[in-house]
Amino acid sequence: MVNENNITLIVPEEYAGTRIDIFIYNALEEELSRSFIQKLLKHNHITIHGMPVKPNYKVKADQQILIIIPQPEKTTLQPQDIPLNILYEDDDIAVIHKPAGMVVHPGAGNTTHTLVNALLYHFKGLSSIGGVERPGIVHRLDKDTEGLMVIAKNDSAHNLLAKEFQSRNVVKKYEAIVTGKPSTPTDIINRAIDRHPQYGHKMTVRDDGREAITHYTLKEVWHTQQGVFSRLHIRILTGRTHQIRVHLSSLGLPIVGDKLYSKKWEKYNVPYMLLASTYLEFAHPSTGQHLQFSIDLPQHMEDFIKKLNTMAFEHIKAE
């Protein structure tokens, strides 16, 4: 749970025996960089039950970790010449293809090599509504999720796009490879989501949470000696934090490579989580023109599919 300059984490059972720096990095995903976590440990800003620990300390289940974030030094975000795949650009917006592994916006100890640093270099103007650390950012993708994002280049475009997202007029489609097979070939998951009551760095399905709606369609199934895998085509009607990951995990269908919601994420040795935002459709904020963008599956997902095709003793494609 993040509270002002303190972060409290409780160790889930599946992370018992993991080095503390690795656990914190995985648990918080993009909030803290690995080097910043090491620095905090070195200066005793990370404690377990009030006692500082070394970077190689291995955590135990249900331990409470307190992370004290020092007051940040005043820094100005710097443009960085990071390659950016720009699919569309005009005076109001840009549509980009974010690579897997790239953090969208800066966090504590993580002020460089983010998408925002790249945006500042490639575009002269960006909206300011998201604050100084999130110029141009109307919506986000998780660090490991590759795919399409629309960027606002001025505040007017930002406001209009934000309303489109809130009104559910933006069409967002994803592809995912999960372990297991869904009980029905297509379904709508309508389960509210909120913070996990014990593990505050995770989201979970909760009756008292915020409405979250995910529609999936089964595209392929592979039966292998290592288990059953499915490829799903997904459309989300709401945009909650970790929505697809939480919904699929709640059905017993965790995404391959998901560090937070799959207990066996290391087993499959994938460089990034196998989830991608492959289709984006919306009305242009100034002209009203209907815009559609799509991308192919990322290479790391294609590579895993090739591997499954080789391993499978039964491969079923949906009609």
Between CA 278 and CA 176 the distance in angstroms is 10
Between CA 311 and CA 303 the distance in angstroms is 12
Helix and strand totals (H; E) in the chain: 6, 17
Long-range contacts for 309-313 (Cβ within 8 Å, ≥24 apart)?
309/222, 311/222, 311/224, 311/225, 311/226, 312/222, 312/223, 312/224, 313/223, 313/224, 313/225
Residue type for 103, please?
A: V
**Is residue 142 annotated as a catalytic residue, yes or no?**
yes
Q: Nearest-CA neighbor of 111 among 121, 119, 103, 101? A: 103
Out of 92, 142, 144, 258, the active site residue is 142
Q: Quick one: DSSP state of residue 48?
A: E
Q: Quick one: DSSP state of residue 99?
A: P
Residues tagged active-site: 142
